[in-house]
Structure 1
Amino acid sequence: MSLPRTPSFRLDGRRALVAGASSGIGLACAVALAEQGAEVSLCARRAGELAALVDELRAEGFVAHALPLDITDTMTTEAALAALPAFDILVNSAGGARHSPAIETTPEDFDFASNLNLRAAYFLTRAVAARLIAEGKPGSLINITSQMAHVGGIDRAVYSATKHAVEGMTKSMAIEWGKHGVRVNTIAPTFIRTALTAATFANPERAAWIASKIKLGRVGEVTDIMGAVAFLASDAASLITGTSLLIDGGWTAD
């Protein structure tokens, strides 16, 4: 009898693009992919921070590059990607919100969230996929959404709407591109402790609400995302597409 063997989680020889990589979840994803052998390009607006992070990654023996871009500028982003070799892996962790009660939402705040969370994500994913398809290469494209892409939340009507939309676009893209070997999935985290969530955790009412919803009794750390992104990028997830990997401590289980 011949025993089966686990497919490799290694990413040697693959090129990865991580958007929103200058901090938080995006940075953790970049490190996770680099640890598995991928050549990683870190993309974000803050050129100085990217350069410093690339130096740190290279000091650890990883292959890393800085790609300073504002992905909401879709034409500039697409031109920059066209000048580079195709990326086998995309992690889109760029995102933002201006939370408020729905009745107080301004058009400016709506446009900010939708332009970054949805429009930019759509065209970035499309650009990476189009290149892979044109060159006949498989790939793994991963959008970081949120548990709020599956439920609603206090003061999060716009944010939740944009993340629900990314889940929908991901499923449709997965259906269209499956025949080309291009997989498209999402990772949907709960509240993760980062600089961006510090204000939320500092609010006792919000902190109590979060604690009451997470069944495992703790908030998320960026390290909770790292194994998931390495898995979805790898051959170990070769039959997974059009789905959402919830890392929410059981928030959405009820």
Structure 2
Amino acid sequence: MLLKDKVVVITGASRGIGRAAALECAKQGADVVIAHSGRPTGNDAAQSLIIEIQAIGRRAIDVGADSASLDTGELIIHEAVKAFDKIDVFVNNAGICPFHSFLDMSKDLYMQTVNTNLNGAYFAVQAAANQMKKQGNGGSIIAVSSISALVGGGMQTHYTPTKAGLLSLMQSCAVALGEYGIRCNAVLPGTIATDINKEDLADKEKFNYMSSRTCLGRLGVPEDIAGPIVFLASDMASYVTGASLLVDGGLFVNLQ
């Protein structure tokens, strides 16, 4: 029970990596705030996740709001504190990656990606940090960045800078928030099979190629990221801040 009685807020939590992280946090003893895009209430994926968490014996609520909005972070934290009186862990996981070529990238698509992945995240992290400072007990902030923070992608010129930005944000926030006992770290997933890349990986040849590029010979699944998130959220990582944890099955190091 690494997170016993902690309150964990996760954005983009109704699907993929966020959902797996929410379930694992609950299994480790946490109550969970499921932040997601879409309707404020009645989101089917979020409601089914709440039922799963309650079956584990923990509490959960969902908060529906647009991650691209600069005000969403304050809304999520407000609802979390209203429900559970505190927050201990904030996981910024929400993100989009609409693959698109560089030379004809539209301003609208670029801004949608940057606002969702980075600008909204910045102010959500700020809102979480202010609440943790107010509580006076420290806390853990985790940003789900990407291996794309370290390497390029021809169809991801709007996406990779946002993930590099999240990594840099956690490094700077570790410095800015250390005096309050707030730890800030980044998780960098490799290629994880989720809805965000489902269409891209539907190409069997590419799927096989990307699998073969890893040292472990397989693509990741959302549960592969949940464990590292729990570790960074827990007191086992009490001296870990400003770190970046690459969770990619060895994709990055497999040059030859």
Asked whether the two chains share a fold, i.e. TM above 0.5, the reply is yes
- If the length of structure 2 is used for normalisation, what is the TM-score? 0.90
Deviation at 1:135, TM superposition (A): 2.4
106-115 vs 9-18, which deviates more? 9-18
**Secondary structure of the corresponding residue to residue 14 of structure 2:** coil
1:246 aligns with 2:246: yes
Q: Distance in 1 between matches of 2:76 and 2:236?
A: 30
The residue aligned with 2:71 is 75
Matching residue within 16, 27, 38 for 2:30: 38
The residue aligned with 1:57 is 53
Stretches of structure 2 that go unaligned for 5 or more consecutive residues are none
Q: What whole-Å deviation, never above 9, does each CA across 1:84-117 have from its counterpart, x for those lacking one?
A: 2331101111000221222221111110110000
Deviation at 1:153, TM superposition (A): 1.9
- If the length of structure 1 is used for normalisation, what is the TM-score? 0.91
**Secondary structure of the corresponding residue to residue 103 of structure 2:** helix
Q: What are the residue-to-residue correspondences of 1:111-122 with 2, within 5 Å?
A: 111-122=111-122
195-204 vs 32-41, which deviates more? 195-204
**Secondary structure of the corresponding residue to residue 152 of structure 1:** coil
1:18 aligns with 2:10: yes
> Structure 2 counterpart of 1:200, which letter?
D
Q: What whole-Å deviation, never above 9, does each CA across 1:119-142 have from its counterpart, x for those lacking one?
A: 011111110001111221210111
* Alpha-carbon distance change, 224 to 241 in structure 1, aligned in 2, over 3 angstroms: same
> Structure 2 counterpart of 1:116, which letter?
T
The residue aligned with 1:3 is none
Deviation at 1:65, TM superposition (A): 1.4
Q: Distance in 2 between matches of 1:216 and 1:76?
A: 38
CA RMSD of aligned residues (A): 1.6
Q: Distance in 1 between matches of 2:157 and 2:205?
A: 18
> Structure 1 counterpart of 2:18, which letter?
G
Q: How many residues align?
A: 246
| Identity value in percent | 33
Deviation at 1:76, TM superposition (A): 4.7
* Alpha-carbon distance change, 205 to 101 in structure 1, aligned in 2, over 3 angstroms: farther
The residue aligned with 1:156 is 156
Q: What are the residue-to-residue correspondences of 1:185-200 with 2, within 5 Å?
A: 185-200=185-200
183-192 vs 47-56, which deviates more? 47-56
